[in-house]
Amino acid sequence: SAPVIAPADTLARRDAHVAAAQEHYYSRPPQIERGWREHLIDTEAQTYVDVVNNVTIAGHAHPGIVDAAARQWTLLNTNSRFHYAAIAELSERLAALAPAGLDRVFLVNSGSEAVDLALRLAFTATGRGRILAAREAYHGWTIGSDAVSTSIGDNPRALETRPDWVELLDAPNPVRGTYRGRGSAAAYLADVDARLDALGADGRAQFAGVVIEPIFGNGGGVLLPDGYLAGLYERVRALGGVCISDEVQVGYGRLGAHFWGFEQQGAVPDVIAVAKAMGNGQPLGAVITTAAIAEAFEQEGSFFSSAGGSPVSARVGVAVLDALRDDDLQGNAQRVGALFGDALRALGTRHPSIGAVHGMGLYLGVELVVDADLTPAPELARRVCDLLLDDGCIVQPTGDHKNVLKIKPPLCITAESVAWVVAALDRALAAA
């Protein structure tokens, strides 16, 4: 068996050669050796409840997914230009999960690639090149997906450095945004109208569409004001634009009541970008769209991603969808997520530093504040995360102010683990 390596040693080796921009959680992170369901175990035999992991949707080391990957590796793994059953099965399953009319699938390796390709589809479908993107969003690291990423939590200079083909929308955050309350959609949509007017006739003639998360994942699971997404899509379509829903974080059953985030808003996009959960950690993403949009892209040439939807990735993708169905993960997200949200809100009545609890299902955010004006408390968030790590819970802050604890555990998390996490957060908030 592999020797146990002291964390300080591997951390120094990692820091020597992994570019510093490729961050790790925590300044002194535990070295994680293995995982099981929602639990992680480090090389010093400490166990943690993993509440930050929206990639391993079905849980760590899920037996069905492990078997599917191992078996496929023994049979075949190659590029996606060969014909094999798994690519057909996965695409068919994704098309069946998407709204009617969205039945063409492109398989890629990551969320960044999915968003990048979705943007290219909008460009080719419209023959235009200007995109609307909301503030406080993260969509990826490739040139295209980074261009529409506006989160100053991830990139402090994001707002000044967007390319000129990206138009910024106010973040429709009904909790701490310009307009507040679930009924603030009309005010935010008036802002959209003003931005579209400001484009002028020439700008509108160059307008290709919008990319937005249907729930602000990067903001910590903040729900958009009711009716905002439908109103936004209506305005985009009136100008001939394409509506892209970035479901990389919030989609795929995590919301419990809904498989896709846009369903929560009662809106239907033209293009869905999805990744993370799709592979339970295997690099896998997809873009799902209409025949018309896919065919417009085909006019421009072919699409080829060597490992996107490879035999192993596609087999894993099918196994993840089997796990979602057989383990009733979306149902668990709804039931256990409701318990989690209620318990966090109850904690908020005792800890004034909890300014809001965002989200639904198993995408929740605990917003830590200094006062009733919602002044962000990033230092408190950091201390709470460190205390929780010592106690055995892995969680991280997110958002433009880095003051929202993002709670997005594997969807198999049990009510017992949730109760333990809430008690640990209670202890941390009392001690921080």
Interacting residues toward ligand PMP by CB under 6 A: 110-112, 115, 138-140, 213, 217, 246, 248-249, 275-276
Which residue, 275 or 377, is less far from ligand PMP as judged by CB? Answer: 275
Shortest reach from residue 137's CB to ligand PMP, in Å: 7
Q: How far apart are CA 94 and CA 288, in angstroms?
A: 8
Calculated CA dihedral for residues 337, 339, 342, 343, nearest 10 degrees:
-110
**Residue whose C-beta lies closest to ligand PMP:** 111
Give the residues across from 87 on adjacent strands. Answer: none
Q: Which residues contact 195 (CB under 8 A, 6 or more apart)?
A: 132, 167, 168, 169
| Two tokens, residue 315 | 């087999």
Which residue, 176 or 254, is less far from ligand PMP as judged by CB? Answer: 254
Shortest reach from residue 22's CB to ligand PMP, in Å: 11
Shortest reach from residue 161's CB to ligand PMP, in Å: 18
Which residue, 158 or 187, is less far from ligand PMP as judged by CB? Answer: 158
Shortest reach from residue 143's CB to ligand PMP, in Å: 13
Between vectors from CA 361 to CA 177 and to CA 357, what angle results, nearest 5°?
A: 40
Walk across the sheet containing 39-42 and list its strands: 32-36, 39-42, 47-50, 393-394
Which residue, 255 or 369, is less far from ligand PMP as judged by CB? Answer: 255
Query: Tokens 């993840």 appear where?
Result: 320
Cα-based distances in Å from 271 to 77, 181, 261: 28, 28, 13
Shortest reach from residue 414's CB to ligand PMP, in Å: 25
Please state whether beta strands 207-212 and 222-223 pair in parallel, antiparallel, or not at all (unpaired). Answer: unpaired
Which residue, 146 or 270, is less far from ligand PMP as judged by CB? Answer: 146
Give the residues across from 57 on adjacent strands. Answer: none
Hey, what amino acid is at 220? G
Which residue, 91 or 249, is less far from ligand PMP as judged by CB? Answer: 249
Shortest reach from residue 248's CB to ligand PMP, in Å: 4
Task: Count CB neighbours of 346 within 10 A.
Answer: 12
